Amino acid sequence: MALPKYTEPHYRIWHYFYLLICGCVFFFLIAPLFVIFPLSFNAEEFLVFSDGMKRLDPDAFSLRWYKDMIYGTKNPWGLAARNSFIIAIFATLGSIILGTLAALGLSSRHMPYKGLIMAILISPMIVPLIISGVAIFFFMAKVGLAATHLGIILAHIILGTPFVVITVTATLSGFDHSITRAASSLGSNPYNTFMKITLPLILPGVISGGLFAFVTSFDEVVVVLFLAGLDNTTIPIQMWTGLREQLSPTILAVATCLIILSVLILLTAELLRRRSERLRGINR
Amino acid sequence: MSSETGKILTTDGIPLEESLKQAEKKNKIKAFLLVAPLLLFLIITYMIPIGDMFSRSIDDKMVTNMLPKTYKAMENWDGKELPPEEVFEAFYLDYKILVKNKTAGKLQTQLNYEKNGFKSVLKKLARKQKKFEEGNYKEQIMKVHKRWRNVEYWRAIKRRAPSYTYSKYLKGVDMYSNEDGKIVQVSEDRRIHRILWIRTVEVAFFVTLFCFLMAYPIAHLLATLPMKYSNLLMICVLLPFWTSLLVRTASWMILLQQQGIVNDFFVWTGLVADDNRPEMMYNKTGTYVAMTQILLPFMVLPLYSVMKTISPSLMRAGKSLGATPAVAFFKVYFPLTIPGIGAGCLLVFILAIGYYITPALVGGASGTLISNQIAYHMKSTLDWSFASAMGLMLLTGVLAIYWIYNKLVGVDNIKLG
């Protein structure tokens, strides 16, 4: 963004002012995340930087909250993590299967009532979560699935499918249907055509939709708050309880782990996006 | 024979048109079958339950079911004077069953909502009715408490006769229908819901505005910088986007607490005295700051994806035709970004208006929003029909915004990242 030499001084000043504003906004966006890292290594149980930490005294730092997170007595994090992963994995699988099938149908030009059906399929994304939570809770309570893993998984499939539908539909928008016809004309049955031709091409879209679904489920707290019983506690629920009652550094240790997880997910999503763009570029 | 030549036939002798129609139909069914599982799943587990919320919100069968005989007897009563003996008898019989089943408490609470002071009267009747003799119940009931001679109490019972009600919706905007059936406002000190609605819209509006003001410059920077720099800066937007909402809320709780870093900074710069640190959390300030940061990526991403498509040569053309940079920006660049602004604002406003977690954690009493009230009634008071009514009012608002947006800008494909 170097300015040309002929720029007049007051535009130059305006330009640097603009860069300064941008810098401040980026700082505002990213800085809060970095407060958590150092404080999670605090040797004391206060959530402020101790004098020792400010002097970078090694004694002021410790891993005690990470130990507490893993080995702590009566600690809820092990169970919560297991539940969170089980629920998120099954919810993602369900979302991927239902969402991909629906996206394939929706992108067919023979599909009747496309607009209406699309509106229904992505409605869980538009309706405020609290309302979805209330409605889903009523349903699960009626069929006796409240406070069960299955109930929460189904709820998260509802919330996760719109992402898969949207990403896969977007991938399919650049999809050349003549190649599936070519496959059929060469004697491939529809199942083989899907597995060998269509799926590999739309896979980036499917996986990035799946990532959205996974994160939605893994991070979801509003609906789970209504649905979960004592046995179905998840990481977000434990964090919610912890944040409401008292902020302990153990929560920060968990938060640090979650940030690392989100960095990994971000990297995967970015790689997939680029791959998908490259693949679609070839198709055109 | 010659008329037949107009139609093109397929090899099996069927007219091509018909054959094509059949094939189309087959394709239609095939496409629909692919969508069907998800569609059915969503209709059963999601659309119908939302409809169910509506029937729940107007449902008022509780009292009707508890006093079946009374309401049957009341059908012929005009409500002007005290009801006749048969109503008293029916009420006595209904109430006797309720006391026996130990469900009289529910009726007492429900009727007390309708008319203050009903609870004590009913409780007294529950004790005395055991000694009632057969016949002339009107006299006996009226002897228990003088309020039974007041026709207002009987009218209160009659008002609960219909098995549906819109009173929950009235309650949602701090109104109720009074003894004469007129719709009036509740007394001034009890108007809590209207404050909450106004505050919710206000918070959503300002959060959207702040997000827009902050997102526009950085989206512009990201769209105009060379790829290798913008990719790096994009991480600053995407990392918070992918990070758990609770983690981000937790970091704001640490930053904004009284001994927190933001306050430390203010003290260090001398803006505030050390012993007079401002309260920045558990009030509206906390809600605004945290929600703006959390929702900012949802504004940046749509803006960015629109700005990316605007060719820089347009601005140069404007300038070469004599526009100052400011004029070129407002006449050329800004109008082209309006679809992105629309999408971002819609997304942020709709997310903000239904926000629950962050206001509940950093909002305190003066920062809570309508969603918190819905959750409170779902989890604490268990007044599910009221929670449903408020939820549907909120949903109507969201759909209205969506509809207006669709009319003004048009709903394109919502882009993610």
Homologous superfamily of the A82-283 domain (CATH): MetI-like (1.10.3720.10)
- Prediction ipTM score: 0.86
Q: Measured between CB atoms, which of A123, A135, A243 is closest to B253?
A: A243
Q: Where are the domains of chain B?
A: 2-48, 63-161, 193-408
- Residue B147 in tokens: 């309020």
**B233 to chain A: which residues are within 8 Å by CB?**
26
How does residue B417 score in pLDDT terms, banded at 50, 70 and 90?
A: very low
Q: Measured between CB atoms, which of A29, A102, A105 is closest to B236?
A: A29
Contact B254/A269, CB-based, under 8 Å?
A: no
Which of these, B42, B123, B223, B73, lies nearest to A101 by C-alpha position? B42
Please tell me the distance from the alpha carbon of residue B299 to that of residue B97, in angstroms, as a whole number.
60
Residue A174 and residue A205 in contact, taking contact as beta carbons nearer than 8 Å: no
Enumerate residues 231 to 290 of chain B having a beta carbon within 8 A of any beta carbon in chain A: 233, 235-240, 242-255, 257, 259-261
How does residue B414 score in pLDDT terms, banded at 50, 70 and 90?
A: very low
B327 Cβ contact list (under 8 Å, min separation 6):
B318
pTM beyond 0.80: the answer is: yes
pLDDT of residue A7: 74
Q: Phi and psi dihedrals of A277, rounded to 5?
A: -65, -40
User: Mean pLDDT over residues B93-122, rounded?
Assistant: 83
pLDDT of residue A73: 67
Q: Measured between CB atoms, which of B42, B354, B395 is closest to A120?
A: B42
Please tell me the distance from the alpha carbon of residue A206 to that of residue A197, in angstroms, as a whole number.
14
Please tell me the distance from the alpha carbon of residue A138 to that of residue B143, in angstroms, as a whole number.
45
Q: Measured between CB atoms, which of A28, A49, A131 is closest to B394?
A: A131
**B196 to chain A: which residues are within 8 Å by CB?**
none
pLDDT of residue A74: 67
Please give the radius of gyration of chain A, using alpha carbons only, rounded to the nearest integer.
24
Contact A134/B53, CB-based, under 8 Å?
A: yes
Q: Measured between CB atoms, which of A21, A124, A273 is closest to B46?
A: A124
Helix (H, G, I), strand (E, B) or coil at B268: helix
A145 Cβ contact list (under 8 Å, min separation 6):
A151, A154
Chain segment B260-299, per-residue pLDDT in tens: 888 888 888 888 877 778 888 888 888 999 999 999 999 9
**B387 to chain A: which residues are within 8 Å by CB?**
134
Please tell me the distance from the alpha carbon of residue A90 to that of residue A96, in angstroms, as a whole number.
10
Helix (H, G, I), strand (E, B) or coil at A2: coil
CA distance, residue B361 to nearest chain A CA (Å): 6
Q: Is the pLDDT of residue B413 over 50?
A: no
Mean pLDDT, rounded, of chain B: 85
Q: Is B404 on the interface with A (CB under 8 A)?
A: no
How does residue B159 score in pLDDT terms, banded at 50, 70 and 90?
A: confident
Which of these, B415, B208, B228, lies nearest to B299 by C-alpha position? B208
Fold designation for B193-408: MetI-like fold (1.10.3720)
pLDDT of residue A246: 75
pLDDT in tens, chain A (284 residues): 567 777 778 888 988 999 999 999 999 999 888 888 888 888 777 777 777 777 777 777 778 778 877 777 667 888 889 999 999 999 999 999 999 999 999 888 888 888 889 889 989 988 999 999 999 999 999 999 988 999 999 999 999 999 999 989 888 887 888 888 899 899 999 889 988 888 888 888 898 899 999 999 999 999 999 998 888 889 999 899 888 887 778 888 889 999 999 889 888 888 877 777 776 664 43
Q: Where are the domains of chain A?
A: 9-65, 82-283
Q: Is the pLDDT of residue B45 over 60?
A: yes
Please tell me the distance from the alpha carbon of residue B210 to that of residue B341, in angstroms, as a whole number.
13
Q: Which of B26, B44, B46 to mutate to test the interface with A (most CBs of A within 10 A)?
A: B46
Please tell me the distance from the alpha carbon of residue B397 to that of residue B400, in angstroms, as a whole number.
5
pLDDT of residue B5: 54
